[in-house]
Amino acid sequence: MQGQLDIFTPAGKNKIDVYYPENSDGGGIIFGQEYVELIQQRYPNRIFQDCFEWCAGPGFIGFAILANDLCDHLHLMDFYEPVIDGIKHTLDINKCADRVSVYVNDDVALLPDTKFDLIVANPPHFPNIYKFKYKASLENRIIDKLQVLTNDEHTCRICVDDHWQAHRNFFKNIKSHLTEDGIILLQENMAGSSVTDFKDMIDAADLMISDCFPSPAHADIVSSIRIYYIEIQHKK
């Protein structure tokens, strides 16, 4: 393993220490943690069999869901080798490799023939680096909040989805991996997008937007962090 790893421990019924390299937190430690409360409130008494975290990074969201016994098995996807090393260390230290699958790529089309009943993600929130830097410049506190502005490489990897290409690929290929009663709950940022940016992609995938709502706690932290959620399901 290369480099120093930091540790984050999500609040939960079970203690899971999440190990991660510097410059790999895109907000999962901050607003990503409200997923647990949202899932408990929106889907009470439901234990998901297979939870998939797309654009997982170190798995801050997924491991929080697992630590609270909201899923039986966790699936994580990311392409950045340093965070994959961190995930492997997390699995080793916490002895939970039997409950976690890891996919090392950034293409949903390459997933194995697996279905998920819960899909979560805090994907890159901006369609280009210029929009991100403009929004960030309006409120310098984003630097303290996300700690990702060390260089353009890390900023682009964490914050930028160029022309929404990753989102397009996700929506194009995810339907076959969603169980009939499955739920996709994506975390987006009003500073970088609105639901209309993704509506045509979702329609083209023959899926439907079942709800769209602002974050209960993080809709207006700063001008560059205004979180909202898109809930997506199979058409009924």
* pLDDT at site 158: 84
Digit-coded pLDDT (tens) for 193-212: 999 999 999 999 999 999 99
* Mean pLDDT on 212-231: 81
- CATH number of the domain within which 62 lies: 3.40.50.150
Domain range enclosing 120: 5-234
Average pLDDT over residues 60-88: 97
- pLDDT score, position 136: 53
What pTM, to 2 d.p., does this model score? 0.90
Per the structure, how many domains does the chain have?
1
* Residue ranges in 6-140 assigned as alpha helix (H): 35-42, 60-67, 81-94, 129-138
Indicate the angle between helix axes 129-138 and 152-159, nearest 10 degrees. 100
Question: In 10 A of CB 178, how many CB atoms?
Answer: 21
Closest to 228 measured CA to CA, from 31, 23, 15: 31
Question: What mean pLDDT comes out for the span 134-159?
Answer: 55
Residue 150 is predicted with a pLDDT of 43
Q: How confident is the model at residue 144 (pLDDT cuts 50, 70, 90)?
A: very low
Q: Check residue 185 and give its pLDDT.
A: 98
Mean pLDDT of all residues in 153-181: 92
Region of poorest pLDDT, from 41-50, 146-155, 170-179, 197-206: 146-155
- DSSP secondary structure of 113-170: S--EEEEEE----BSSHHHHHHHHHH-THHHHHH--TT-HHHHHHHHB-GGGHHHHHH
Q: What is the pLDDT of residues 90-121, one digit of tens each?
A: 999 999 999 999 999 999 999 999 999 999 99
Pairing of strands 207-214, 227-234: antiparallel
